Chains A and B, each alone.
Chain A
Amino acid sequence: MGSSSRRQFLKRSSAVAAAAGVAAAAPATAARALAGGNSAHMSSDASADAGVAALPDDDTVSVPVVAHVRDVRKGLVALYTGEREVIVKNRRLAAALYHASRG
């Protein structure tokens, strides 16, 4: 049964809108940053950082961001921060998170 509501719809709308932006940006930022953070690649290869997006350096850095890979094959990742949920469809990001979780 559906559990949507006007309020949830509004939340979803904002999430989808945000997702569109993040999804577009993700290949150049999040996915690359995560790939750079993969222990298999990060050890001593300084050049791996070359394409990584600049790390933020403001108060938002201390706010937790939780990633939930909902469907790695479809590239669906839910990001939770503050009171927001951002849905990203990005196979590289999902794959990077999956591989990172494998250690």
Chain B
Amino acid sequence: MSSHREAPEISKDPVADSTDLYAFVSPDDHDTVTLIANYVPLQGPAGGPNFYEFGDDVLYEINIDNNNDANTDITYQFRFNTVIEVGGTFLYNVGPIDSLSSSNWNRRQFYSVTRVDWSGSKSRSTVLAKNVPCPPCNIGPRSTPDYSKLANEAIHSLPGGGKVFAGQRAEGFYVDLGSIFDLGALRPIQSLHEIPIPASAAAVNATKQLNVHSIALQLPKSKLTHNGSTPTNPAHAASVIGVYTSASRQRVHMYEGDGTNTGPWTQVSRLGNPLFNEVLVPMEHKDDWNRTDPVHDSNFASGVLHPELGALLPVLYKGHFPNLAKLDASKAPRSDLAAILLTGIPSGIVPGFQNFTGSTQADLLRLNMAIPPAHTPKNLGVVGGDLAGFPNGRRIADDVVTIELKAIAGATYPLVEPSYKPDAAVGDVDQGLTSSATDQTAKGTEHYLAHFPYLGVPFSGYDVPAK
């Protein structure tokens, strides 16, 4: 998956497991950028009575580099606390929850938002909001009869501009997980696989009708640039930010009473580009990658420069990727993938576009904020000719699985080596979950919103799974 359960240790710690990160110029407010960090993967909507929530003992952060050195310049920190309001009941709620102040709602979460500005070796922290209520989980028509109203009440304005939301949302990432992890098969072309299943088949969205917990920020662009300006020129380095999210736990936990946590915060999860740790980092290094800050990602660059999947495709689909096989055999480094994932794409490679953040290799989601949203977004982003999509940041409907599979299969290598001719089969590399280049619903399996926080209303436990 994008980053759901992507490493051995974090797969056992869902509340700290970052699953997806999105960064895009807000389509309905072009002067702002939306940042969304998702946690707590693969939520079955009916999972009560202890419905899903953030971790009170986790420090959640969204980190921004705005001066092209791969170090964090701005951090938004989120801390949660849970309260029991009713007591004496095993129930999440004892009647309908019709507002965020409902006395029927037993177990509630609140959170604080702190902005940290880093300058050299110093930092300045500003608490932007305290005791902000999360919405409840979507239980069902009796408990949460008007869920959209509850969610809208949970959107909180921030001083100085911007807004924040933290709570349950519908999973927006779509992937045919069951097929891809069955020895790298894509159902639409599975008849070509080394272990063929004869008939091609329709892809399955494995994350359909699951929920996730989102931390969403919508901020004026001027709050994210190093000089407080609003970027207008895509060619300027100052127009580009690098973003990653992280979750940290305190070093010591003691199992006594309600539990004691002490010591410094230690990063246990992080996420920049989708699928980075999942697909490009060997199993034995995945936990270490989660503990490491992006500025040290040169330690993991070999998995990008010589991706294992790039070598596997010609084996799994024998005879269909001869040029990729030769490229892999040549041991030439995949500088195209390094640009996309580790440094950003410099000017002069893709006409009218750059999101280069310097030579320091770091897995950051890089967004050129001066590029406006597309009128008709294409789910293959830059690869599909839409400069407002991945890997220029990431929008929620971008088909990042197909984009990265195509890139690894050789589609983007001509950007750095024009004489290379991608195999014809690259055109067939598609997980098969979109009906067209402009499909924004993953064939009707996703229901995004046109406004903040953009990810859809979470599925209710009463409705899902359906009969």
Contacts and interface: CB of A to CB of B under 8 A. Distances in A.
Interface of A: 1-8, 10-11, 15, 64-66, 68, 80-85
Contact of A5 (B251, B262, B264, B293): B293
B293 A8 contact: yes
Would you list the 3 A-B pairs with minimal beta carbon distance, nearest first? A80-B263, A5-B293, A1-B299
Contacts of B299: 1-2
Q: Interface extent on B, as a size class?
A: 20 to 34
A5 B73 CA distance: 13
B260 interface: yes
Contact of B264 (A2, A6, A11, A64): A11
Given A10-B121, A80-B263, A84-B264, A66 B252 contact: yes
Contacts of A65: 262
Interface stretch (B26-34, B284-292, B402-410, B457-465): B284-292
B264 A83 contact: yes
Interface in B113-132: 118, 121, 123
Interface of B: 71-72, 118, 121, 123, 250-252, 254, 260, 262-265, 267, 285, 288, 291-293, 295-296, 299-300
Contacts of B260: 64
A1 B292 contact: yes
B44 to A, nearest CB: 34
A5 B251 CA distance: 16
Contact of B288 (A3, A4, A7, A85): A3
A64 B262 contact: yes
Given A1-B296, A5-B293, A82 B262 contact: yes
A68 B265 CA distance: 16
A3 B289 CA distance: 8
B264 A3 contact: no
A80 B251 contact: yes
A60 B300 CA distance: 42
8 contacts: A1-B292, A3-B267, A6-B293, A64-B262, A66-B263, A80-B251, A81-B263, A83-B262
Given A6-B72, A11-B264, A66 B254 contact: yes
B292 A3 contact: yes
Contacts of A83: 250, 262-265
Contact of B295 (A1, A5, A15, A84): A5
B292 A6 contact: no
A2 B292 CA distance: 7
B176 to A, nearest CB: 32
B296 A85 contact: no
B119 to A, nearest CB: 11
Contacts of B264: 11, 15, 80, 83-85
Contacts of B118: 6-7
A4 B265 CA distance: 13
Nearest to A6: B71
Given A6-B71, A80-B251, A82-B262, 4 more contacts: A2-B296, A5-B71, A7-B72, A8-B293
B358 to A, nearest CB: 16
Contacts of B250: 80, 83
